[in-house]
Amino acid sequence: MKAQVFRGVNQLSYEEVPVPEIKPDEVLVRVNVVGLCQSDIKKIRYPLYNPPRIFGHETAGTIAAVGAEVQDWQVGQRVVVLHHIPCMHCGYCLNDNFSMCEVYKNITTTAGFIPSGGGFAEYVKVPAHIVQHGGLIPIPEAVTFEQASFVEPTNCCLKAVKKAQIAPGQTVLVTGAGPIGLMFIMLVRYFGARAIATDLLPTRIEKALSVGAEAAFDARDPDLVSKIHALTEDMGVDTSLLAVPSDKAFFQALDCTRKGGKILFFAEFPDEVEIPINPNILYRREIDLMGSYSSSFRVQSLAADIVFNQRIDVDALISDRYPLRDLDAAVEQAVAPSPETYKILIYP
Ligand SMILES: [Zn+2]
Ligand SMILES: [Zn+2]
């Protein structure tokens, strides 16, 4: 089969590799669509992981083979493949910090080499732990593979929205209106809150409005803070969701968030960035700073429900489709997005 193998920083190689062999308790899935995620781009472009690996984790496909001991799944079923499932009994899992669980981190789907998701290949192997604990989700007939590939990113965004306790009637600032920021806007709306967005690109500002933001501004607007105060009875927003790794965006969010409000870091910053902060901001203004990384088992069924029942319009997020062979071009486009670039999907 063909796969895109990570051979070193910025070195993707489109290669012939063996189809993974499955054990009696494993499942093999033919990949129909896999989403390109910001985290894939980081793993490809920064020295975070030793090669060789096959990345890709927003996978929707068709079961191609099942091991002799697998009872609940049949060849031909359309499925979302989750690349991690927590153990559910370690100290992290018992406190709902599933993405810190060692089992969650270490057991993953693979298309060969060091297991790393494996979605950027024609076939991906699903290990027993993931097969047995809810990591395969059947795709309803009315749902396309493309839509289904959004279950994982929806889970990650939903986890953040839940962690920030976004509730009806609140106002939320979303900094950055790329694919993640746009999904946040949709979810904030779904939870009955108002969304205000910022971005640097005029097209993204327009797009934010078209997917449901009540207002959207250029992040460089010198009157941004007063405009947001004008929309929030001079209090500021209840919560800010940072969907761009920018310290400027953080300080802007700090100025725009009300006393007692929350700021949630969703984007991964470059490691060298440090943000100086006066602790009295946390004390006197009671601003809560929080982060949300990866997905949560707890919101998995809700994430699937939201996508499968089209409670948010994930199709509106798709801007480009690339064949797997051109993954490097897709990464280039995501790194230097054109004004119309949003979610990029990859077809093996
Ligand atoms: Zn992802
Ligand atoms: Zn655990």
Find the ligand nearest to 179 CA: 1
DSSP state of 274: -
| Single-letter amino acid, residue 135 | G
Phi first, then psi, for residue 133 (nearest 5°) are -125, 40
pLDDT at 194 over 90: yes
CB-based contacts of 164, cutoff 8 Å, min separation 6: 172, 239, 241, 262, 264, 290, 292
How far is ligand 1, taken at its centre, from the CA of residue 152, in Å?
6
Predicted TM-score (pTM) of this structure:
0.96
How far is ligand 2, taken at its centre, from the CA of residue 286, in Å?
31
Q: What is the pLDDT of residue 90?
A: 97
Q: What is the pLDDT of residue 267?
A: 84
**Helix 224-231 vs helix 247-256: crossing angle, to nearest 10:** 40
How far is ligand 2, taken at its centre, from the CA of residue 106, in Å?
11
How far is ligand 2, taken at its centre, from the CA of residue 101, in Å?
4
CB-based contacts of 7, cutoff 8 Å, min separation 6: 13, 51, 52
Indicate the pLDDT class of residue 271, thresholds 50, 70 and 90.
confident
On the 0-12 / 13-18 / 19+ scale of CB atoms within 10 A, 214 is middle
Q: Which residues of 179-213 are buried (b: 16+ CB within 10 A; e: fewer)?
A: bbbbbbbbbbbebebbbbbbbebeebbebbbebbb
Strands (E), the chain: 2-8, 11-16, 27-35, 58-66, 78-81, 123-126, 136-138, 171-175, 194-199, 215-218, 237-242, 257-265, 288-291, 318-323, 343-347
Q: What is the pLDDT of residue 268?
A: 86
- Terminal alpha carbon distance of the chain: 10
Which residues have CB less than 5 Å away from ligand 2 (the ion)? Answer: 86-87, 90, 93, 101
Percentage of residues in the chain with pLDDT exceeding 90?
Answer: 98
How far is ligand 1, taken at its centre, from the CA of residue 203, in Å?
23
Distance CA 254, CA 237 (A): 10
How far is ligand 2, taken at its centre, from the CA of residue 57, in Å?
20
Indicate the pLDDT class of residue 149, thresholds 50, 70 and 90.
very high
pLDDT at 195 over 90: yes
Average pLDDT rounded to a whole number, residues 292-320: 97
How far is ligand 2, taken at its centre, from the CA of residue 153, in Å?
21
How far is ligand 1, taken at its centre, from the CA of residue 274, in Å?
25
How far is ligand 1, taken at its centre, from the CA of residue 310, in Å?
19
Q: Which of 327, 160, 174, 154 has its CA nearest to residue 241?
A: 174
Phi first, then psi, for residue 5 (nearest 5°) are -100, 130
DSSP state of 53: B
